Structure 1
Amino acid sequence: MSDQQDVRLPFPGIVISTIGTAKRLIQRLAQPWLVQLVLRLALAVPFWKSGILKWHGFLQLNDTAIDLFTEEFKLHLPGGPYPFPHPAVFAFLSGCGEVTFPVLLVLGFGTRFAAAGIILMTCIIELTVPDGWPIHLTWFAMALGIAAWGPGAVSIDYMLGDKSPRS
């Protein structure tokens, strides 16, 4: 029988060893480039899905999108809610942002600009649907993280020279 055979750790030792192993595995998997890529992809999905539903063709909003901003969506400001001014313009801008910003995020091109656009859109969405704050806060935090730490190594921006996070 060898010395290493039949070595048993007491219960607390097994737990500590397992936690240490899990920590090392997570550190290997959660590389900054992977975290930044996943953040960009995860944030792009809900905006893209919403955006493609607003279009009937190239630069042609469907009637539902305009109706939403005319009839359904209201700005929940003090003394309100108030209707959107120029609902067709807001519907068009919303539709453009919801398809453009996700594409930029996925490509990692103009990433900080796209993240800033998502932050602005999220603020307007929060004023429109105030009960959705838990998910809006998540979008805001993800976009803020992307704006702060950049697109990561798997991006066009990185290839063009955006290699370090903002200080």
Structure 2
Amino acid sequence: MTDMVEAPSGSGWKLLAPVRRAEGWLASVPAALPLLALRLALAVPFYKSGLTKWDGFLQLSGGAQFLFGQEFKLHVFGAQYPYPFPTAAAYGAGTAEIVLPVLLVLGLGTRFAALALLIMTAVIQITVPEGWANFHLPWAAMALTLAVYGGGALSLDRLIGLGREKM
């Protein structure tokens, strides 16, 4: 890797050589690998959460029914509101938390699955506002990245011709 501008000679510039080599090595990593890592990293917490909402095939758990019906509140403009249609919301969330992570792992409809998880993250944020820094911000960043850049070369999207990458 050569620079357009010749670096001045001196010991200070020689210390940068390992940094430049490392930077070049990192820049050579195919975009498909970090995009795959992002797909997996975003899929895991949502899938695990989805598993807790079911007691069997389409059998909503009592805990999920209780949380959406009694515990969860929407925090909007300084007030708390109960979830509208809590059972439907629990079914929707539970289904999305299983289906969307599977789509992400496969890299199928990656942009749409990531966009849906970004919207879910926004709803989760107004439900559990104190989780922003530790959970919601990283999830939102991962989902936004995947929505913008797609699933990468290691995805079914690319295999079937949906994956037009920006990188």
Structure 2-normalised TM-score?
0.88
Corresponding residue number in structure 2 for 1:101: 100
CA contact (8 A) 1:44 1:102 kept: yes
In the TM superposition, what is the alpha-carbon distance from 1:71 to its structure 2 partner? 1.6
Corresponding residue number in structure 1 for 2:138: 138
CA contact (8 A) 1:150 1:162 kept: no
CA contact (8 A) 1:56 1:62 kept: yes
| Distance of 1:22 and 1:166 partners within structure 2 | 24
Corresponding residue number in structure 2 for 1:16: 16
Corresponding residue number in structure 2 for 1:28: 28
Task: Count matched residues.
Answer: 158
Mark the structure with the bigger radius of gyration.
1
Q: Secondary structure at the match of 2:76?
A: coil
Corresponding residue number in structure 1 for 2:5: none
**5+ residue gaps, structure 1:** 1-8
| Distance of 1:58 and 1:10 partners within structure 2 | 68
| Distance of 2:130 and 2:85 partners within structure 1 | 24
Corresponding residue number in structure 2 for 1:57: 56
Corresponding residue number in structure 2 for 1:156: 156
Kindly report the root-mean-square deviation, in angstroms, between the aligned alpha carbons of the 2 structures. Answer: 1.8
Larger deviation: 79-88 or 34-43?
79-88
**5+ residue gaps, structure 2:** 1-8
Q: Amino acid of the residue matched to residue 75 of structure 1? A: L
CA deviations 1:59-114 (Å, max 9, x no partner) are: 11110011011121100012521111111111111100111100000000111111
| Distance of 1:72 and 1:11 partners within structure 2 | 62
